Structure 1
Amino acid sequence: MTRGESNAPGKSNARGQSNVIGVALLLGVVMLSLASLTASVGMVVQSNAATADAARVATDMNRALDPVEVTGIHRGRVAFSAGALTTEPRELRVLNESGTVRVVRVDAFVFTNGDRRVTDLAGAVVQGTGDAGRMDARPPITSSERGGVLVVGAAKLNASGRTVVSKRGESAVVRTNVTHDRTALGNGTYRVAVETKTPDAWGRYFERQNATTTTRDFDGDGIPSVVARYPGTRFCYLVVHDMHMEVL
């Protein structure tokens, strides 16, 4: 028998089997890692696509629904690769020291795709996730810095109730026929309340106008209104921009 040889039965076979098992386990770990990496990449790609979709919808909504600059018939398109367009009931209120002066059923034009949401409400466009959001287009609600005048523009959808669910490569045509009506509400200390699912974005907008904000659920439906109190005595105008919106 030469040096290094062994006559132990089955020893070489056991070593060979151990090597095969080790290689199989290593391949299994590699395959699991690749599957996890593929799933992670897929989630990132899907998330980026949804984010890009929401940004495109926000831009399209801002162009399609232009309540202040447009009078008469106007058409625009809202394109998206996945998700749905719906309308939801919302109210805007003007209040003074005596209570509610006007209630306008403005409603919201809403795009949803998973947890992402874009809303055109009262002339503002807000996009975000959950109750967080940022305002991409500001509402037509303006005031002078030190009292004097408050102009409350209320963009009213007055919409057909059609829901649009996307199919690849399709877009929704939005038709409006815009009219404007201005009412002088007189002198007083005023508050403006907007019913919204993204109160933080609206609160930041009002606070930049030197208003103080609170929240209140006026109608008990679980959706709060951001209530902005403007300082000082002002002469208030309410301008209703009635869009008579149709989704074709």
Structure 2
Amino acid sequence: MSRRRSRTVSVGGLSSFADDDRGVSDVVGYILVFSLITVTIGTVFAVGVTGVEDRREAERVANVERAFDVLDDNLRDVQRYGDPNRATEIRLAGGTLSTSAESRFVLANTSNASDVANGTLGEWTSGTIAYEEGDTTIAYEAGALVRGDGDGSVMLSEPRFAAADGRTTIPIMALVRGGGEGSVTGEGTVQITAVDEANADSETTRFDAASGETLYLWVETDHPDAWARYFERADDFADATPADADGVAVAELEHGDSVYVREVVRVVGLQR
């Protein structure tokens, strides 16, 4: 019986493996290359789509923030010049716009939470215009513009409080919810109106501290940390927030001999 032998041909002193069937086949190589390309494309697509969505979401919130800047400017004109009516348009872009929340301001002669009820000299409330999208909130409250992200918040536009020479002026943009919808959600443009109605009284009230008495301004809000930081850095105010206060920022009035609270009232509404 003859025995078959495989031959190797020497070319230039090197052995040719053309007849060696131990190599990886072309089909397996093609599968490996195709799998690598598929995984690469899938990874790039997944990361890219997530990045685009994050960027789109950030841009939507930035557009709302710019619209609230315009709202802040319009209501500042109402405070400064007494404009009777103002309107601002905001594109929702999937979020919720509401006027259901309120901020409360209390002028008292104590920074002790257990004594503030007996030490109250005056009290004012204002409706809050707030936009919410996920963990982000942009809110206008009583003359300040605040943005909250998660558990933290920052004041984008500060209230127009002023103090010097023993006198403190506290202007409060008091918004009262009118008729119509209290909140709107979804897409489209919403008009925010601020109207001077006949029953919306605006007035300035003066308070004089007794000899040696220190006055404090209490602010009950959904963003107390932003207000507390404002009082820390504002001239002639000092943050005196009690350690056990929940949802409250308290300011000591360093020029509190005479305090003028100027309340400007407007009826606010939401219209599609």
TM-score between the two structures when normalised by the length of structure 1:
0.83
Give the AA of the match of 1:211.
F
Number of residue pairs the alignment of both structures matches: 239
CA-CA distance at 1:127 after TM superposition:
2.2
- Bigger drift between 68-77 and 185-194 goes to 68-77
CA-CA distance at 1:72 after TM superposition:
5.3
Partners of 1:22 and 1:99 lie apart in 2 by 79
Secondary structure of the 2:182 match is: coil
| Residues 1:201 and 2:226 aligned together | yes
Task: Answer yes or no: is the 8 Å Cα contact 1:77–1:174 preserved in 2.
Answer: yes
CA-CA distance at 1:216 after TM superposition:
5.4
Larger radius of gyration: 2
- Bigger drift between 134-143 and 106-115 goes to 134-143
Secondary structure of the 1:82 match is: coil
Match in the other structure for 2:13: none
Match in the other structure for 2:166: 148
Match in the other structure for 2:40: 30
Task: Answer yes or no: is the 8 Å Cα contact 2:171–2:261 preserved in 1.
Answer: yes
Secondary structure of the 2:25 match is: helix
| Residues 1:116 and 2:116 aligned together | no
Match in the other structure for 1:86: 98
Give the AA of the match of 1:165.
T
Task: Answer yes or no: is the 8 Å Cα contact 1:65–1:176 preserved in 2.
Answer: no
Task: Answer yes or no: is the 8 Å Cα contact 1:57–1:111 preserved in 2.
Answer: no
Q: 1:166 to 1:191 in 2, by over 3 A?
A: same
Secondary structure of the 1:171 match is: strand
CA-CA distance at 1:165 after TM superposition:
2.2
Match in the other structure for 2:57: 47
Match in the other structure for 2:123: 103
Unaligned runs of 5+ in 1: none
| Residues 1:247 and 2:270 aligned together | yes
Unaligned runs of 5+ in 2: 1-6, 10-16, 111-117
TM-score between the two structures when normalised by the length of structure 2:
0.76
Which of the residues 19, 26, 35 maps onto 2:29? 19
Deviations 1:188-211 (A, max 9, x none): 421111122222321232222232
Give the AA of the match of 1:183.
T
Q: 1:163 to 1:205 in 2, by over 3 A?
A: same
Task: Answer yes or no: is the 8 Å Cα contact 1:56–1:79 preserved in 2.
Answer: no
Which of the residues 188, 200, 216 maps onto 1:191? 216
Q: 1:233 to 1:42 in 2, by over 3 A?
A: closer
Which of the residues 109, 114, 125 maps onto 2:145? 125
Match in the other structure for 1:134: 154
CA-CA distance at 1:217 after TM superposition:
10
RMSD over aligned Cα atoms: 2.7
Which of the residues 227, 231, 242 maps onto 2:254? 231
Q: 1:45 to 1:7 in 2, by over 3 A?
A: closer
Which 4+ stretches in 1 moved above 6 angstroms?
A: none
Task: Answer yes or no: is the 8 Å Cα contact 1:65–1:76 preserved in 2.
Answer: no
CA-CA distance at 1:229 after TM superposition:
0.8
